[in-house]
Amino acid sequence: MSQDERLNHIKTKADLSNEEIELLRNTGALKFNTINGMVENAIGIFPLPIGIATNFVINSKEYLIPMAIEEPSVIAAASNAAKIASKGGGFIAHADDSIMIGQVQLIPTVTTTASRSSSLMTTNTNHNSSNKSEIDNITNLIYNNRNKIISLANTKSNFAKCIDIKIKHVIDESINNLGQMIIVEILVDTKDAMGANVVNTMCEAIAPEIESLTSGKVILKILSNYATERLVRCKAIFPRDLIGGEDILKRILFAYAMAYTDVHRAVTHNKGIMNGMDSVATATGQDFRAIEAGCHAYACRDGHYRALTKWYQDSNGDLVGEIEVPMAVGTVGGITNSHPVVKTCLKLMNVSNAKELATIIAASGLAQNFSAIRALSDEGIQKGHMKLHSKNIAIIAGATEEKIELVSRKMVEEKNVSVSRAREILETLNKTSNHC
């Protein structure tokens, strides 16, 4: 269907008004053909605000950081944290090379006396009972043909490079009790690309070779979003005197202790970090779901879900924050070449490669976390949040143009930020302006 046909179809089905259809038809800075090439059954775009986080100095370079997010306070909080961090020397960050992991799941063919069948899962018990020596044989076969497999993978890309192979041996402990399997992992340097497509292509390319070498059966062939070989680390010093002194600093350490030890707090602590990281990831066209999934798994790497940041006091008495997370992002490929807003955001940051982008995203997460726990340790977040949210409330109440600011300011002064109060203030303003 064309865009018109799709819109007409949903208009009839859902009884939408002409105004509603026009809202959905809007494609903003994008051409319909572009969005139609990105997703199926496209009808329009979903707009989000983009704001600019300021004051960021990362590895001695100043950045203006675009953040696409609907939540008030996030951009102000990041900018404020970055200002304080800049007085402590700015953010110091380092990203690993862009090594992604691809997984090929190999099921050994069952050759036990219980069932000498050459096909998969044909034993009476539905249990793949390969023994240790069979698994060892297969492992050796793959390692002995390591170079051949790597070369085969490398025929599939002119920029990414498969550099190594690792093998894992796992046993299904789910309710299906399927027994033993081998996971062949390829390590691929995807350079400035996030790398999902190239890694998936490589995994699919080597699968037949792995099957023929081992007489096993390959099932899954897919990239892992747990990018543990592609970590980014970022650190910043927040001078004690600029954050409110020793008492606040100690309170922040208590906030961190709670997020380290208690999972219910850890999730919210990490959600604040993702406010910063996801909004930059969205503005720069990254797969933020992949980043989220990887970060949350990393938060559980010792078996307990914990804070993704660390906070401590250094020998000068200042507060130090650190973050370490997997960060699979790209400055080429995906929608970085086709989405005009994404292209402009990358240009705005003057970012030259994927590793640099990873450092910016990590710094945004750390900054966001600082501001959240700084506010929570002191006056709470609602005061600042409601102040910024008041403009939103004014708009919901029907304020437009300069009346948004007037209504919002009055509600904040009165410490009563609500839609009903906004409507009353607006009514008074409208009466006054009609009168004039």
Catalytic sites, residue numbers: 71, 271, 287, 385
Q: How many of the other CB atoms lie within 10 Å of CB of 304?
A: 11
Q: For residue 330, which of 303, 349, 356 has the smallest C-alpha distance?
A: 356
| Contact call for residue 61 and ligand MEV (CB under 6 A) | no
Q: What is the SS3 assignment for 222?
A: strand
* CB-based closest residue to ligand MEV: 272
Joined together, the tokens standing for residue 430 give 């409208």
Smallest gap from Cβ 372 to ligand MEV, in A, equals: 4
Binding pattern to ligand MEV, positions 364-383, x when CB under 6 A?
--------xx--x----x--
Single residue of 214, 225, 275, 392 touching ligand MEV by CB under 6 A: 275
Smallest gap from Cβ 85 to ligand MEV, in A, equals: 17
Residue 281 contacts residue 329 (beta carbons within 8 Å): yes
Q: What is the SS3 assignment for 233?
A: strand
Query: Is the CB of 382 or the CB of 418 nearer to ligand MEV?
Result: 382
φ, ψ (nearest 5 deg) of residue 95: -115, 140
Largest CA distance in the chain: 97
| Contact call for residue 268 and ligand MEV (CB under 6 A) | yes
CB under 6 A: which stretch of 93-101, 210-218, 268-276, 390-398 binds ligand MEV? 268-276
Rounded CA-CA distance 136/248 in Å is 57
| Contact call for residue 271 and ligand MEV (CB under 6 A) | yes
Which CA distances in Å does 318 have to 215, 252, 365? 60, 12, 20
Q: DSSP character for 104?
A: E
Smallest gap from Cβ 260 to ligand MEV, in A, equals: 13
Smallest gap from Cβ 368 to ligand MEV, in A, equals: 8
Single residue of 191, 235, 240, 269 touching ligand MEV by CB under 6 A: 269
| Contact call for residue 272 and ligand MEV (CB under 6 A) | yes
Q: How many residues bind ligand MEV (CB under 6 A)?
A: 10
Q: For residue 106, which of 210, 21, 14 has the smallest C-alpha distance?
A: 210
| Contact call for residue 321 and ligand MEV (CB under 6 A) | no
Q: Which residue has the tokens 């910024």?
A: 388
Integer Rg of the chain from CA: 27
CB under 6 A: which stretch of 176-184, 212-220, 269-277, 356-364 binds ligand MEV? 269-277
Residues that bind ligand MEV (CB under 6 A): 71, 268-269, 271-272, 275, 372-373, 376, 381
